[in-house]
Amino acid sequence: MLWRFGHLERMKLATMKLDTLLLQTVILSFFVLFISAYEDVTTLEDDDFAEFEQFDADDDNEASDSSEASQSQSKQKPVSSIPEQFESVDDQEDDIIVEDEDNEFEHFQDPEEFEGFADSVPRTPEQPKITISKVPIMLRMRWDAYWLEGLLCCMLAAYALAYAIGRAKNTAIAINFLKLHKPLLDDNFTLVGESGSDIVSVTGAEGEHGWRREAEHCFTMWCSGRTCCEGMLLTLKLIKRQDLVHMLLGAIRPTPDTLLIRVELGKEDSDPFVLCIAQKKTANKLAKEMQDLSVFCPERRPGDKHGLPSNLSVMSETPEATAAILDARVTTALTQYHTHLQYIHISDRYSGPKQIEETAVTKPPDTERVLLASITLDEAGEGDGGGEAIRPLLLLIFHIIDKLKRLRLSKEALAKCERRRQKVAEAWLRGAHAARQEQAAQRREEKRKQEKERILAEDDPEKQRRWELKEQKRQMKRKTPKMKQLKVKAL
């Protein structure tokens, strides 16, 4: 068995050597054939050139010279082979097919792209040159190139942070104010606040009454169920702490937190009169803006004449109502807490600010009986001191409400107030009548213009002449003064 195995191994080695020898023989024979073919082609080319040389020598000497030159050139020229010719053809095809992507502006060198350019442009000693600027390619990104985006992101983050902090602070002020003054409101009203999803209460429990959030800086609360009034609306108007831009502007021109009180009075709860007690700057502003104060209270008197601080002004329709309202208790409270009070406005003809409209008002505004008050908090909702300073002013408002119910003017003062209101109503009627007449005249003039355009657009001269005569008669009748005709009976 071992002898057979060794014999097989020797047979395999012999077979491999034989295959290698045959492969070498085939490669050598192919190489010899290729060399022989190459030599045949070169000899063939040399024989052809020799025939041309012999033919040229028999003709004339010039041809012989040229043949000799060509022969010499052919001898000096390296012998080209057929494979090289095919390679040159392939190179030309490659040049046609392959496009050079790097040379993007090669069409500028093509003369066919600029046909007629030389004829239209005057010749100059120097040809126009096209300069192509090379823009550097940014290979890597740099963080300093995004400084503007980074600044905007920082501003947005600061605005969002200020919004969250300001909203929380305003909510805390509203809750703290409710903690301090809700017991007083519960003692004077049956229903204090509303319940719902947007309610801000002390404990935050569902169904509890409290502030209604109108905005992030504005809270309202309606109170009802009290004698001498139909209801009271409290509006807590705080600084826009959630707005970063408003806070920056507030640093230049600060504005305090304000509590606005609006008491709806009944028709039989008070006599007709208008009275306003306000700071001097606020009084000037209210006298210009409010309709009832500008009509019924044209005169402003300093507070010294009524026992009030000098920084307060009093605007009143009748002195009798002023003396009845400003009793000893009201005067003492205003003297002690006048820094927190902006104004107290009592009116039976309150119609809001003046209406500035382009068209004339043909209808008098709706009026109502109200008591308005504005109190500055000065961060009152955040501390006990500021919060306790507002309590006496709230008690003062309730005292004035009760006093208005009991106040009765004398017959003379009441008659003067009624006559003044009647004059104002007549003035409104005259103004409305004049406004209606003006509007009617404008409509007639517009209608007359349309009729004139229609007549002029027609091609009938007779109709145009009749219209002109009619218009002249109307103008003459309008200019003629009106005279009354009196009939006298014969005796």
pLDDT digits (tens, 9 = 90+) for 34-52: 666 555 544 444 444 444 4
Number of domains present in the structure of the chain = 1
| Closest to 257 measured CA to CA, from 376, 341, 367 | 376
pLDDT of 260 above 90: yes
Higher pLDDT, 215 or 91: 215
| Residue 400 DSSP SS3 | helix
Higher pLDDT, 159 or 431: 159
Is 49 inside a domain boundary? no
Is 188 inside a domain boundary? yes
Q: Give the least confident one: 133-137, 242-246, 433-437.
A: 133-137
Is 137 inside a domain boundary? no
Instruction: Provide the 8-state DSSP code for 126.
Output: S
How many Cβ atoms from other residues are within 10 Å of residue 146's Cβ?
12
Angstrom distance (rounded) from CA 278 to CA 143? 59
How many Cβ atoms from other residues are within 10 Å of residue 93's Cβ?
10
CB 278 within 8 A of CB 344: yes
Q: Which residues of 279-288 are buried (b: 16+ CB within 10 A; e: fewer)?
A: beebbeebbe
Give every CB contact of residue 335 below 8 A, 6+ residues apart in sequence: 307, 308, 309
Q: Give the least confident one: 132-146, 339-353, 444-458.
A: 132-146
pLDDT of 1 above 50: no
Tokens 């496009």 sit at which residue? 99
pLDDT of 483 above 70: no
Residue 188's alpha-carbon distances to 36, 134, 227, 228, 293, in angstroms, are: 130, 84, 9, 11, 30
The backbone torsions φ and ψ at residue 74, rounded to the nearest 5 degrees and listed phi first, read: -70, -30
Is 143 inside a domain boundary? no
Higher pLDDT, 431 or 87: 431
CB 315 within 8 A of CB 297: yes
Higher pLDDT, 75 or 199: 199
End-to-end distance of the chain based on CA atoms, in angstroms?
Answer: 184
Give mean pLDDT, residues 189-196: 85
Is 265 inside a domain boundary? yes
pLDDT of 348 above 60: yes
- Domain hosting residue 331, numbered range: 153-415
Is 316 inside a domain boundary? yes
What is residue 34's predicted lDDT score, i.e. its pLDDT?
65
Q: Give the distance, in angstroms, between the CA of residue 347 and the centroid of all CA atoms in the same chain.
A: 40
Angstrom distance (rounded) from CA 196 to CA 211? 10
What is residue 70's predicted lDDT score, i.e. its pLDDT?
47
What is residue 106's predicted lDDT score, i.e. its pLDDT?
61
Greatest Cα-to-Cα distance within the chain, rounded to the nearest angstrom: 186
Give mean pLDDT, residues 216-232: 90
What is residue 129's predicted lDDT score, i.e. its pLDDT?
76
Is 140 inside a domain boundary? no
| Residue 436 DSSP SS3 | helix
Give mean pLDDT, residues 308-329: 90
Report which listed range, 16-25, 53-62, 63-72, 172-181, is most confident: 172-181
CA atoms within 13 A on the CB side of 207: 0
CB 200 within 8 A of CB 175: yes
pLDDT of 77 above 50: no
What is residue 85's predicted lDDT score, i.e. its pLDDT?
47
pLDDT of 465 above 50: yes
Is 448 inside a domain boundary? no
Angstrom distance (rounded) from CA 247 to CA 250? 5
User: Structure pTM?
Assistant: 0.62
What is residue 466's predicted lDDT score, i.e. its pLDDT?
81
